[in-house]
Structure 1
C-alpha cells in the first residue's frame, strides 16, 4: 500500500503451495530516490498538476517519472533488447526495462508505426515453471475484454519464449493519485469502486477469480483527471469453465488481503475477491489497514476473527452507509459476503454517498498513507539486515503458522 512492497512480476508457481503467499517486505531499492518520492508527495497541494506517472502495467518498484533512469537500467534495456525476437523488435521499439521476475521481464515499448506505448512481458518457457505461469496468465487474459481490465494486445511465441504485448497504464497507482489530489470524498471513493466492481463482476461472470486484488494492482490508465481505473496483474488468477469444479484450494495471495477461508485451507470461491475489495474499501476511506501486524500469526488471527474497528480519523466523518458497505464485504463467513453485483447495488454505491459526499477526507487519508510509507522506509535497514536469515526460514515458518492456525481455528470457524 504505497510502500513499494509488492512484487514486480508474478513469481513462478512451485511445488509448495505456500510459496504463492506473497510476503510483504520493505522497499529495497535506492533509499535516496524513495525519500525524494515521499518528500515530493508531502509538497503536493490542492490544484497541483497530475500525480507522478508510473509507466508500468505491473505494479511494484514504482519511481516518479521525472527521475532519470539510472545508467545500469539503460544497460539492462540494451541487454534484454538483444534477446528479443526480431519479429517483436521489427514492430516495437524497446524503451525501458520496467521489471523482472524469475522467468520473465517486462519492458516499456513503443509501436513503431503508431507511436502508441505498450508493455511487453517476455516469459521464458524453456523451464517448466515459466510455461505454467505463461499458460495460466494467457488462459485468463485471452478471455477478457473490459474497459477496466488491462488488455492483452497480441502474443508472439518462439521455442523458448512468449512475448505478451499489453496495454500500458501510465496514470500511476490509486493511492498516489489520492495523495496528489487536494480533495477526496466518499463520492470519489464510490466512483473508484464502481469501476473496480464492474471489472470484478465481469471476471466473475467469466468464471475468473483474480486472487490478488490490492491497491497496487489498481492503476490509472493515464494521468488525466478523467482516467479510468484498470485491474492488473493476473499472475495468480484462476479460471474455470462450466462443468468444472469451481472451488479453489491453492493457498495464495498477499497476507493483509487474504480471506479467512484461504487461511483455514477450505475450498473457496470467487468470494475471496470480495473480501479483498472490503480491505481496499477500508483503506480507500481511511488510509489505514483493517488488518495489520508485523507478526504474521497475530495478523492471521485478526483476519480469522474479522477483527477491525472504525476508530481514529477520519472515521467519525465517514457515513454509516459506507461502513455498512465494508461490513458486508469483510464478513468472515463467505456466504454472508456480498457478490460484485450486490455490491454495485448497495445504497452507498448507488446513491454515491449523497448524504456525505461533500466531506473532504483527503487530509486524514493522505496523512495516514504517508505515515505508513515513512514507517516502511524507516524499517528498511533492519529488515535488510535480517533478510538472509528470514529467507531461509520463511517457507517453514509460514507453513507452521498456517498449520497451527488451521488446527486452532478450523473447528471454531466451521461452527
Structure 2
C-alpha cells in the first residue's frame, strides 16, 4: 500500500476484480453516477452520462515454419524490428477533425433539415440517450449525433454547459463539436466521428494483446489532452476508458470524449462535485472536498493500472466497499499481472494514486516522467513485444 488508511476504519481488503465483458460491473462502468455539483455561493447543475462509439477489431495470426523463420530473422527481420519499433512507438498526434474548430450555438431548427441520422446504427449510449452515426446532407460528411434528453430548463442548461466547454477546446486528442440543435424535449450534439471503438473494449477483449508499450502510447496522448484542458482551466471529472475513443482499429491514436461533467476551474470559487463512476473517483470527490487539476490525474492513474493489468485497483463488491478502498488508498502491485511490468510504469502510477492531491504529478510532469518520455525504455519494451512474437511464430 502507498497511502495511510488512518481516516478509514474497518475497511475490507481491496478487491481487484478483473474487468470482463461478462462482468456485471461493466454496465456500471458504462454509466456515470450523477448526483449534484456545487460551487460555493453558486447553484449546482446536474448532468447524466456520456456517449461512446464502439467497434471491435479482429486479430489475424500467421504461421511460419521454423526454417523459414530462421531465414527471415537472420536476413531481413532486423531492419523490420527497427521499422516495427518506429511504427509502434509513433508519438505523432491523431488526425485532426475533418473540419475547422467551431464556436457552436444550439439552433432551434429541425436537425433533419441538415443531417440524416441513422437511427438503426447506435454507436453508444447511457442514461442521457444514444449516439448515432449521421451524415451532413450538403457535404456527405460522416459525423456522430449525441441525442441528449433535456426537457426541463435546468437539464438544458447542463447541456449548454457541455457545449460551452467544447467551444473552448481545440486539440487533436479531444473530440470536436460540429453543430447543435435544440428542441422541446432534447438537445442534439453533432460531433466528429471516429471508428475505432472505446478503449474499454480493448481492455476486455481477450483476443487483443494490450502491451505495456501500447499503454504508454495511450496514456501519453491522454496526458497531452489533459495538459491542454488544464491550461484552459477546464476539468474533465469523468475520465475512464469508456470516455476514450480509438481513432481506428489499426492504430493507438485516441480522442477523449464526453464533457458532460466537465467544469471550468475557478480557484476562488472552490469547486466541489458529487458525481462520477465510483472506481475512478479521487478521494477528494468521495469526501466532498475541493477538486482541481489533480482530480483528473488520479483517474489517469486508475486508467494506467487497468490498461497494464486488466484489473481495477479499487473495485469492491459494491459501491460502498469501492469508496472505502479509495479513501483507504488500498492498492498494490502484488498480482501476477504486474510481474513483467517495468519499474518505471509502477513508479508512474505510484506518483498519481496519492491520497493528498497536492503530491500527484501534473499532466505536464507526467509527460516528462521516464515511463512516457524515455525512448531507450520504449525500445526495450518494444523488444519484449518482438521477442514474444518471435516465440509465437517459431512454435
TM-score between the two structures when normalised by the length of structure 2: 0.68
Pick aligned residue for 2:344 from 321, 328, 336: 321
Query: Deviations for 1:157-178, whole angstroms, at most 9, x for unmatched residues?
Result: 4566533211122211114346
Partner of residue 27, structure 2: 5
Q: How does 1:385-400 map to 2 (within 5 A)?
A: none
For the pair 1:266 / 2:289, whether they are aligned, the reply is yes
Unpaired runs of 5+ in structure 1? 23-36, 49-83, 364-415
Query: SS of 2:116's equivalent?
Result: strand
Q: Which has the higher contact order (CA 8 A, sep 6+)?
A: 2
Higher helix proportion (structure 1 or 2): 1
Pick aligned residue for 2:250 from 224, 236, 244: 224
Distance 2:117 2:344 in 1: 48
Larger radius of gyration: 2
Partner of residue 289, structure 1: 312
Shift of 1:5: 1.5
Residues 286/112 of structure 1: CA separation in 2 closer, same or farther (3 Å cut): same
Shift of 1:264: 1.4
Query: SS of 1:249's equivalent?
Result: strand
Q: Is the 8 A contact 2:37 2:272 kept in 1?
A: no
Partner of residue 202, structure 1: 228
RMSD: 3.5
Distance 2:182 2:112 in 1: 13
For the pair 1:162 / 2:187, whether they are aligned, the reply is yes
Residues 223/204 of structure 1: CA separation in 2 closer, same or farther (3 Å cut): same
Query: Deviations for 1:128-163, whole angstroms, at most 9, x for unmatched residues?
Result: 232132122112111111111110012234566533
Q: Is the 8 A contact 1:148 1:229 kept in 2?
A: yes
Residues 131/10 of structure 1: CA separation in 2 closer, same or farther (3 Å cut): farther
Distance 1:223 1:10 in 2: 26
Query: Deviations for 1:225-270, whole angstroms, at most 9, x for unmatched residues?
Result: 3x520101111111145xx636321211110000111111211212
Distance 2:30 2:331 in 1: 29
Partner of residue 306, structure 1: 329
Q: Is the 8 A contact 1:21 1:251 kept in 2?
A: no
Distance 2:208 2:184 in 1: 51
Number of aligned residue pairs: give it. 308
Residues 206/286 of structure 1: CA separation in 2 closer, same or farther (3 Å cut): same
For the pair 1:121 / 2:146, whether they are aligned, the reply is yes
Distance 1:88 1:177 in 2: 33
Residues 338/134 of structure 1: CA separation in 2 closer, same or farther (3 Å cut): same
Distance 1:297 1:123 in 2: 29
Higher strand proportion (structure 1 or 2): 2
Pick aligned residue for 2:156 from 125, 128, 131: 131
Query: SS of 1:271's equivalent?
Result: helix
Partner of residue 261, structure 2: 236
Distance 2:385 2:337 in 1: 10
Distance 1:96 1:151 in 2: 21
Q: How does 1:245-264 map to 2 (within 5 A)?
A: 245=268, 247-264=270-287
Residues 47/180 of structure 1: CA separation in 2 closer, same or farther (3 Å cut): farther
Partner of residue 219, structure 2: 193
Query: SS of 2:165's equivalent?
Result: helix
Query: Deviations for 1:275-299, whole angstroms, at most 9, x for unmatched residues?
Result: 0000000011111111111133322
Distance 1:109 1:8 in 2: 22
Q: Is the 8 A contact 1:251 1:262 kept in 2?
A: yes
Query: SS of 2:384's equivalent?
Result: coil
Residues 19/288 of structure 1: CA separation in 2 closer, same or farther (3 Å cut): farther
Partner of residue 172, structure 1: 197
Residues 188/124 of structure 1: CA separation in 2 closer, same or farther (3 Å cut): closer
Q: Is the 8 A contact 2:47 2:158 kept in 1?
A: no
Query: SS of 1:311's equivalent?
Result: coil
Q: Is the 8 A contact 1:20 1:251 kept in 2?
A: no
Residues 257/151 of structure 1: CA separation in 2 closer, same or farther (3 Å cut): same
Residues 259/217 of structure 1: CA separation in 2 closer, same or farther (3 Å cut): same
Distance 1:233 1:267 in 2: 22
